[in-house]
Amino acid sequence: MPNKEMLLIPGPTPVIDPIYKALAQETRSHTDPRFAELYTSAISKTKEMLQTDGETFVISGSGTLAMEMALVNTVAPGEKLLVISQGFFGDRFSKLGAAFGIEVETVQSEWGKQVSPAEVEKKLKKGGFKAVTITHADTSTGVKADLDSLIPVIKKYDALVILDGVCATAAMEENMGKAYGGNPAYKIDVVLTGSQKAIGVPPGIAVVAFNQTALAAREKLGKVPAYYCDIYNWLPVMHDPQKYFATPAINLVYAYELGMRLVLEEGLENRYERHEKFGRAVRAALKAYGMTPLAEEKVAAPTLSCILYPEGVNDAAFRKQLAGKGLIVAGALAHLAGKAFRIGHMGNTTKEMLEKAVRFIGETLNEMGYSANVDGAIARFQEEFSKVPV
């Protein structure tokens, strides 16, 4: 059965019946050839999704583990990392870098805004940066990164591009084969992600893909300050899942493999378009209630939105009332706590679910003494949804 509650937070996201069924299959040995075949399929479908020529790691862990794995295998303690931060999850890279003795510098945008390529270039000009991290969609602010303008700048200075795709992968283009700025050397080197956001599988699978450039960087490092996160410990398993390094989350691999099949069946382009429409329609409808998306439309992520309340709305009361109707949204982080809420519109979320969410939000505002035109907001939702994305 699909989720009874509408779990419209920025992850975990709604899980559908076939994925729950996949999870509930019999737990087998990690060396069972039937499981190995499935694991191989999960890895190769992930490669297909990301279009990488390198190595892809599908292991147990959350998105943060994937961030750690991306970092420790590319940047050594003492080397320089530039973090492009458009919110809380960008900042997490700075903390991670510091934990490993990496020299971190940050280019930070005001929350709700994008970092400009010019600011990034100003930092990179100082020289010596081994890698740059980009958060594709920052889950705290609902701001997306502009890869087309950032990657050519980063590559001009020969740094590795590490892309945090948690909250974006399978909903926003992350094509490791794409030559940015038309230059075949200008590519995304590492993509990392988690299962529970735009992929729509329960939490617990961490994914990291390295291209040949990133793999060469790993080789140069020799030893890395990690064991579970050292990609060299996982490489033999990724090539032959009957080999053992650490027990995979068998049942989650069943679910993730199906998740990948569903992503590829729907088609990446279709998914990108669906999420664009979701984001635009949700924000337009909520604006009709006098709510304000934190990010301007042109920098807003298709997968989730951070929405500022109209004056005076009590955040806890609002979300509690919504939860009573079966709609779960998330509070905002850091200085926006209490002033905004976050709504996810990704993965297995449907148009019908989002329309219902718009209705419930309007009804809740009315119950709290505001005057929200529910039908007007639904009409705005429909109107934006029917537009073809440019």
Whole-Å CA distances, 61 to 57, 104, 259: 11, 24, 17
x-or-dash string of contact with ligand PLP, 144-183, rule CB under 6 A: --------------------x-xx----------------
Name the minimum Å distance from CB 291 to ligand PLP: 22
Phi-psi domain of 167 (left: phi exceeds 0; alpha: psi -120 through 50; beta: other): left
What does DSSP say about strands 129-135 and 160-164: parallel, antiparallel, or unpaired? parallel
* Residue of 3, 41, 51, 64 interacting with ligand PLP (CB under 6 A): 64
Q: How many whole angstroms separate alpha carbon 235 and alpha carbon 312?
A: 54
Among 14, 63, 279, 293, binds ligand PLP (CB under 6 A): 63
The contact pattern for ligand PLP, residues 8-47, with x = CB under 6 A and - = no contact, is ---x------------------------------------
Quick one: 197 or 274, whose CB is closer to ligand PLP?
197
Query: Rounded to whole angstroms, how far apart are CA atoms 317 and 323?
Result: 10
Rounded to a whole number of angstroms, the minimum distance from the CB of residue 195 to ligand PLP is 8
Q: Give the max Cα distance, the chain.
A: 63
What are residue 101's phi and psi, to 5 degrees?
Answer: 70, 20
CB 139 within 8 A of CB 11: yes
Q: What is the C-alpha to C-alpha distance for residues 234 and 227, in angstroms, rounded to an integer? A: 10
CB of 109 to ligand PLP, least distance (A): 15
Is residue 85 within the footprint of ligand PLP (CB under 6 A)?
no
Using CB under 6 A, count the residues that bind ligand PLP. 14
Q: Indicate which single residue of 89, 210, 254, 360 sits in contact with ligand PLP (rule: CB under 6 A).
A: 89
Q: Kindly report the length of the chain.
A: 390
Whose Cβ is closer to ligand PLP: residue 60's or residue 64's?
64
- Is the Cβ–Cβ distance between 259 and 347 less than 8 Å? no
Considering only residues 119 to 148 of the shown chain, the ones binding ligand PLP according to CB under 6 A are 135, 138-139
**Contact footprint for ligand PLP (CB under 6 A):** 11, 62-64, 89, 135, 138-139, 164, 166-167, 194, 197, 203
